[in-house]
Amino acid sequence: MIDLRSDTLTQPTQRMREAIYEATVGDDVYGEDPTINRLEELAADMLGKENALFVTSGTQGNQLAVLSYCSPGDEIIVESESHIFFYEGAAISALAGVQPRTINGIKGEMNPSDVRNAIRSQDIHFPDTSLICIENTHNRSGGSIVSSDNMRAIYKIAQQASIPVHIDGARLFNAAVASDKQVQEYTQYCDSVQVCLSKGLGSPVGSLIAGNKEFIKRARKWRKRLGGGMRQAGFLAASGIISLTEMVERLSEDHEKASRLADAIEDIGGLSLLNRPDTNIVIVNIEETKKSNEEFLNDLKKEGVLAVSFGEGLIRLTTHYDVSSQDIDQAITALKRII
The answer on 254 and 189 residing in a single domain is no
The answer on 232 and 283 residing in a single domain is no
Positions of the chain with pLDDT lower than 70, given as ranges: none
What is the pLDDT at residue 216? 98
Residue 167 lies in a domain: yes
The answer on 294 and 169 residing in a single domain is no
First-to-last CA distance in the chain? 19
Domain region containing 293: 250-338
In degrees, to the nearest 5, what angle opens at C-alpha 63 toward C-alphas 90 and 67? 105
The answer on 139 and 270 residing in a single domain is no
Contact 153, 258 (CB under 8 A): no
What is the pLDDT at residue 99? 98
The answer on 29 and 166 residing in a single domain is yes
The residue length of the chain stands at: 339
Residue 1 lies in a domain: no
Return d(Cα 84, Cα 170) in angstroms, integer: 11
The answer on 88 and 37 residing in a single domain is yes
Instruction: Beginning with the edge strand found earlier in the chain, give each strand of the sheet holding 308-309 in spatial order.
Output: 272-273, 281-285, 314-318, 308-309
Domain boundary residue, one of 196, 231, 246: 246
Dump pLDDT digits (tens) for 174-219.
999 999 999 999 999 999 999 999 999 999 999 999 999 999 999 9
Domain boundary residue, one of 246, 277, 298: 246
The SS3 call for residue 264 is: helix
Contact 195, 170 (CB under 8 A): yes
Residue 2 lies in a domain: no
Residue 160 lies in a domain: yes
Residue 78 lies in a domain: yes
The answer on 233 and 119 residing in a single domain is yes
Dump pLDDT digits (tens) for 227-268.
999 999 999 999 999 999 999 999 999 999 999 999 999 999
Return d(Cα 129, Cα 269) in angstroms, integer: 47
What is the pLDDT at residue 210? 98
What is the pLDDT at residue 91? 97
The answer on 154 and 211 residing in a single domain is yes
Domain boundary residue, one of 246, 263, 287: 246
The answer on 56 and 154 residing in a single domain is yes
The CATH number for 109's domain is 3.40.640.10
Strands 192-196 and 207-211: antiparallel
What is the pLDDT at residue 120? 98
In degrees, to the nearest 5, what angle opens at C-alpha 105 toward C-alphas 100 and 109? 105
The count of structural domains within the chain is 2
Contact 165, 134 (CB under 8 A): yes
Residue 97 lies in a domain: yes
The answer on 183 and 69 residing in a single domain is yes
Residue 130 lies in a domain: yes
CB crowding 204-234: b at 16 or more within 10 Å, else e: bbbbbbbbeeebbebbbebbeeeebebebbb
Residue 26 lies in a domain: yes
Task: Give Cα separations from 196 to 116, 136, 158, 163, 308 (angstroms).
Answer: 29, 12, 25, 24, 20
